[in-house]
Chains A and B, each alone.
Chain A
Amino acid sequence: MSILNKIRISGICCLTVFSAAAFSVTPVQAADELNALVWCDHTDPALIQPFEEKHGVRVNLKEYEGTGTALAIVEQSQPGDWDVFVIDGVDVPRVVDAGLLAELPANELPLDDVFEQVQMRDVTMRDGKMYAIMEKFGYNVVSYNKTKVDPADMRDLNTLWSDKYKGRIAVYDYYIPLMDLVALKMGMKPSDITADVLPKMKEALFQLKENSVMVGEVVSSTTALATGEADILIGGGEWAVAVMQSENPDLDWVLPDQGGILWSQSLAVFADSKRKDLALEFVKYVMSPEGQARLATSSCFWGMPANRKAGDVLTAEQKQALRWDEQATFLKNSHRYFIPDADLDAKMLDTWTEFLQH
């Protein structure tokens, strides 16, 4: 073989090895590791380290935003690469439909300790089998700076469509809860949203855009509130302000009289996981009162723990920030995320994109 050929072959081999390494979506899993696809609140060491130490394992966390992104990561991975999945409660049915989730042993998890309205068995169970458990919830409502606005105004969604706070409003950039809130403002329930009402919703969204200073995802919208760029965040809630309240006690949130939108995130185990037992232990840990308290007060964002027994672990200040004692009323006045079918979902996203472009 000529030197030239050797160079060519070795070059091709190097490139092939390099390409394989470069395109690997997940870390190579060692025997004592767990790979979890999570939201940012699970990346807090205060939550993960106790589990790692107890089980002598390492939890590899891949943070994502948007179920579409997570599904793209899973599609590009090898079966078995991922063990644990933190997923938007609203998206559990479609992930179950795709056959991605393993059945969870309902009798080994504290389902009865989960707030009743948050259990959402119709979402997490299929044919009597449980595929996910709700771990954290909260509200997409109205966050505000109480020194800049009249807190009483924040109880009426219509105020945000009037001229009173024009140019002082930030909008959370997630079409499902925001369009649900628009439905509430229009006197409908989120579940009343159909393709026929979308033109009217678009008009309402365009009016909201006229009043808003920005539309942003989690970090941008909360930054707008924190820096004073906006005084109100529609779609915000405890998740947007609780973590900042120690530094800025003027930030607050409220459930409007028209009601709020209940968000929820769930925990599941991948059907192809090679470490289902360890993954289940992780689920049990996160759902324990201690795990729940740590998750609820994660440094990324706060939210209500699904397990009410976490109340025994949280401090009085933490419970105050989460409005623990008002949960019964809040839950009663809240609507779950509306889950549109694929066709309506596409139309809603079209409407939202037009709103962003307006």
Chain B
Amino acid sequence: MQGQSGKSRGWALLTPALLWTLLFFMMPLLIMGTYSFWERAGMKLVRSASLANYEKFFDKTYFVGSLVNSIEVTVIVTVVSVLLAYPLAWILAERVPRRWQRMALILAILPFWTSYVVRSYSWLLVLSEGGIISNFLLDVGITADPVSFANNRGATVIGFVHFFVMLLTLTIYANLVQLPPSYRKAAADLGAGPVQSFVHIILPLTLPGIMVGAFLTFVLCIGDYITPQILGGNRELLLPQTMMLQISRRSDFPMASALAMILMLVISVVYIACARWLKLDRV
């Protein structure tokens, strides 16, 4: 009897989450998947199933190119963000006194409180020819002429990294503060130096935090439209920009849906690879 009641209670608690996932994830995905097999002909939607949009994806080099660009940018952003976030999280968890950690965390997440669009335009002003970096280089005599760092892939990466370093710092910090100090003491007792202790004890134990943050970074970055659109200057197209071109210019939702499904597939493959490699099911 108690088992039956516990099972019902479990389902009751699970139902909101299941409904939420069904309504806001599975249903939109199903609709998008269905759309991806339809076609846009002029102003009309042709509701007969075909693989035309997927064939077009492989036929047009710019579609495949934009996916490759997206993957390249996302990998660079994820790697750079992890490399910057880990030391930051380490300093926060290990070097900043407990009473200051809360304040330090608030400072770390302050950029999240600003509008994403405003933040991207702010970076555009900082990186452009009349921006503070160019002016500084001119003032100290490193360059004779104004220099622009905006409107290219580097600017897009900077805009992304600024945002995702904070996200990763939080996930890694949460992992680091959970590690009992006794682990390091035990390693030291057994003769391990700080580097060995980090490589063999701390890093493996914080890998789940890194991977969760890195995967979130990957997903959010590869699907982002705003940052490359504002900071990239259309020097190259990323997949979300190509999707938007289909919608804003031609209302071609079927083609945009096909591109979204391909993006979803890439993300799924990355997730499965991460999960298998790191056995994320134990996180």
Partner of A229, one of B23, B43, B148, B247: B148
- Cβ of B242 under 8 Å from chain A: yes
Query: A229-B150, A357-B236 are contacts. A68–B16 as well, Cβ < 8 Å?
Result: no
- Cβ of B175 under 8 Å from chain A: no
Closest A residue, CB atoms, query B27: A19
Pair B129/A229 contact, Cβ less than 8 Å: yes
Closest A residue, CB atoms, query B124: A223
Bound: A203/B145 CA distance, A = 31
Pair A228/B128 contact, Cβ less than 8 Å: yes
**Which of A5-13, A126-134, A254-262, A331-339 interfaces with chain B?**
A5-13
Closest A residue, CB atoms, query B230: A220
Query: A94-B43, A216-B233, A357-B236 are contacts. A227–B131 as well, Cβ < 8 Å?
Result: yes
Residues of A within 8 A of B65 (CB): 357
**Which of A235-243, A293-301, A310-318, A345-353 interfaces with chain B?**
A345-353
Query: A223-B121, A228-B128 are contacts. A71–B12 as well, Cβ < 8 Å?
Result: no
- Cβ of A193 under 8 Å from chain B: no
**Which of B97-105, B205-213, B248-256 interfaces with chain A?**
B248-256
Query: A68-B248, A213-B151 are contacts. A8–B15 as well, Cβ < 8 Å?
Result: yes
Pair A215/B234 contact, Cβ less than 8 Å: yes
- Cβ of A354 under 8 Å from chain B: yes
Pair A66/B236 contact, Cβ less than 8 Å: no
Bound: A228/B20 CA distance, A = 48
Nearest chain A CB to B83's CB is how many angstroms away?
Answer: 29
Residues of A within 8 A of B62 (CB): 350, 353-354, 356-357
Interfacial residues of chain A within 90-134, with CB under 8 A of chain B in the complex: 94, 97-98
- Cβ of B276 under 8 Å from chain A: no
Pair B249/A349 contact, Cβ less than 8 Å: yes
Return the CB mask of A62-89 against B: 1 if under 8 Å, else 0: 0001111101100100000000000000
Residues of A within 8 A of B129 (CB): 227-229
Size category of the binding interface on chain B: 35 or more
- Cβ of A173 under 8 Å from chain B: yes
Bound: A100/B72 CA distance, A = 43
Pair A353/B237 contact, Cβ less than 8 Å: yes
Return the CB mask of B221-235 against A: 1 if under 8 Å, else 0: 000000001100111
Pair B148/A66 contact, Cβ less than 8 Å: no
Pair B146/A228 contact, Cβ less than 8 Å: yes
Bound: A66/B150 CA distance, A = 25
Pair A229/B12 contact, Cβ less than 8 Å: no
Bound: A352/B156 CA distance, A = 21
Nearest chain B CB to A204's CB is how many angstroms away?
Answer: 17
Pair B251/A4 contact, Cβ less than 8 Å: no
Residues of B within 8 A of A224 (CB): 128, 151, 233
Residues of B within 8 A of A97 (CB): 43
- Cβ of B66 under 8 Å from chain A: yes
Nearest chain A CB to B129's CB is how many angstroms away?
Answer: 5
Bound: A215/B230 CA distance, A = 10
Partner of B234, one of A68, A69, A173: A173
Return the CB mask of A203-223 against B: 1 if under 8 Å, else 0: 000000000011111001001
Partner of A11, one of B15, B124, B125, B236: B15
Query: A98-B43, A227-B125, A356-B237 are contacts. A4–B12 as well, Cβ < 8 Å?
Result: yes
Bound: A294/B144 CA distance, A = 45
Nearest chain B CB to A207's CB is how many angstroms away?
Answer: 15
Of the listed residues A98, A213, A354, the one surrounded by the most CB atoms of chain B closer than 10 A to its CB is A213
Pair A65/B234 contact, Cβ less than 8 Å: no
- Cβ of A342 under 8 Å from chain B: yes
Residues of A within 8 A of B249 (CB): 66, 68, 175, 349
A-B residue pairs in contact (CB < 8 Å), sample of 7: A66-B247, A69-B247, A72-B251, A175-B249, A214-B150, A227-B124, A349-B245
List 9 A-B pairs, minimum CB-CB distance, nearest first.
A214-B233, A66-B248, A215-B234, A342-B42, A214-B151, A68-B251, A357-B62, A228-B130, A229-B128
Q: Which A residues contact B (CB, under 8 angstroms)?
A: 4, 7-8, 11-12, 15, 19, 65-69, 71-72, 75, 94, 97-98, 173, 175, 213-217, 220, 223-224, 227-229, 342, 345-346, 349-350, 353-354, 356-357
